[in-house]
Amino acid sequence: MLGVGTAGKITVISSGDGHRVFALRGDTIGDAVGASSAPAGDVNSDGVPDVIVGSPGVPIRNLVHAGRVGILSGVNGHILRRFTGQEPEARLGAAVAGGPGFDRDGVPLDKTSNAITLRVHAP
Ligand SMILES: [Ca+2]
């Protein structure tokens, strides 16, 4: 069940030295931020892998549980791209997929450089 009584949260931890890269907390009870996540590759070509995070419980305008998917910078969690559900109960972001080659140049990325590990806390 999505979002029982709390907003979602994700924390991204460096697999290099274990430091917390960034954390993101939802702002709506039941938003299910972090219900799904995946590596995104280096979407913005800054040399650091980015992450895809699904938030299927997020309301969009007056659309209950329309959902949202964000591609977040692996440096600081800033939103690089955002996709939103377009109808009530669409629950966009219930599942996401990506991979180290998911970027704009079509060239597979080096999996050993600047790797990060996701720890996801779903509501
Ligand atoms: Ca990047």
For residue 67, the Cα-to-chain-centroid distance in whole angstroms is: 12
Predicted pLDDT at 49: 87
DSSP H/E element including 94: none
Predicted pLDDT at 121: 39
Q: What is the pTM of this model?
A: 0.76
Predicted pLDDT at 61: 93
Predicted pLDDT at 109: 43
Predicted pLDDT at 64: 94
Predicted pLDDT at 42: 86
Q: Tell how far the Cα of 99 is from the centroid of ligand 1, in angstroms.
A: 13
Domain spans of the chain?
9-101+111-121
Backbone CA torsion sign across 35, 58, 95, 113: negative
| Contacts for 12 with CB less than 8 Å, ≥ 6 apart | 20, 21, 22, 23, 51, 72, 74, 77, 116, 117, 118, 119
Predicted pLDDT at 2: 46
Q: Tell how far the Cα of 86 is from the centroid of ligand 1, in angstroms.
A: 27
| Average pLDDT for runs of 10 along the chain of length 123 | 67 86 89 90 88 93 93 93 92 82 48 40 38
Q: Tell how far the Cα of 113 is from the centroid of ligand 1, in angstroms.
A: 12
Q: Tell how far the Cα of 22 is from the centroid of ligand 1, in angstroms.
A: 14
Q: Tell how far the Cα of 45 is from the centroid of ligand 1, in angstroms.
A: 5
Q: Tell how far the Cα of 4 is from the centroid of ligand 1, in angstroms.
A: 32
